[in-house]
Amino acid sequence: MSSSIKIESVVKEKNRMGECPVWEERESALVYVDINSQKVCRWSPLTNEVQSVSVDARVSSVALRQCGGYVIALGTRFAFLDWDTQAVTTILELEQNKPNNRFNDGKVDPKGRFFAGTMAEETAPGVRARRQGALYTLFPDHSVIKQLDQVDISNGLDWSLDHRTFFHIDSLAYAVHAFSYDVHTGKIACPKLLYHLEKEEQMPDGMCIDAEGKLWVACIDGGRVIRIDPETGKRIQTVRLPTPRITSCCFGGKDYSEMYVTSAYDGLDETTLAKEPHAGEIFKVSRFPFFPYIRPAKPRA
């Protein structure tokens, strides 16, 4: 079946490092973070207004709470964010022995646990300590376990539709890995390589899954999202975006048939930035016939 793709820039307010988009049904809005501006943001397609809450550290990921508000990963701590009061309540601080680390991408699993991983910051352009990161799980009772260690840049993550497989990206491995996943305990095991990015695809960043069980991976500096079939380990589609630093993606909108894609302008020099007027914007990708959509898990964090 043939299909046509429509790409629109819908959030013109530019993000230094837009990341971790998630659609919030109760607000009919897209929630996301600007890591380097230390802001959690919410965009309404009805009003085209962007609201934001500033926090005291780089905030890398956000997820919805059943009771309202959000759980966030900022600096090296998990916290709750009350949108109305802008209050941030720390749940737990981790990796206090690694002052150069911070959290990165995060997402809620099918049982409402919040998975988020860490990474070492650069000490100079292109220079960072290797294998300093980890992947953690925050349970609804606020306990935390470490799932992975010696990670470089813990990044995109999601779960298969049958809840038996966990997918994870360590960006500096330039690959997507699949793990066995126990939905009852939240534990992961038995990693295997699923897909290694090709040179022109550059580095993998955020990731989401569609209703056909296919993965969509954002390629930072590759200017695209790619669709991967986990059954075959093959790339089956490429959607190119009008700016290079593509960071993450999610499905949203009234029936979750639209893909929202975040981007960044940090990391582009002045000459390149002058040629990239859309850097840092957020894009809506529509497909006709529609994308195979999937509603995200209901978080209990």
- Annotated catalytic sites, by residue? 205
19 among annotated binding-site residues = yes
Known binder of ligand: residue 93? no
Contact 228, 215 (CB under 8 A): yes
Q: Is 58 annotated as a binding residue?
A: no
How far apart are the C-alpha atoms of 206 and 171, rounded to whole Å? 9
**121: annotated binding-site residue?**
no
Position 295, amino acid: R
Q: Which residue numbers belong to the known binding site for a divalent metal cation?
A: 19, 155, 205
Q: Which residue numbers belong to the known binding site?
A: 19, 102, 104, 122, 155, 205
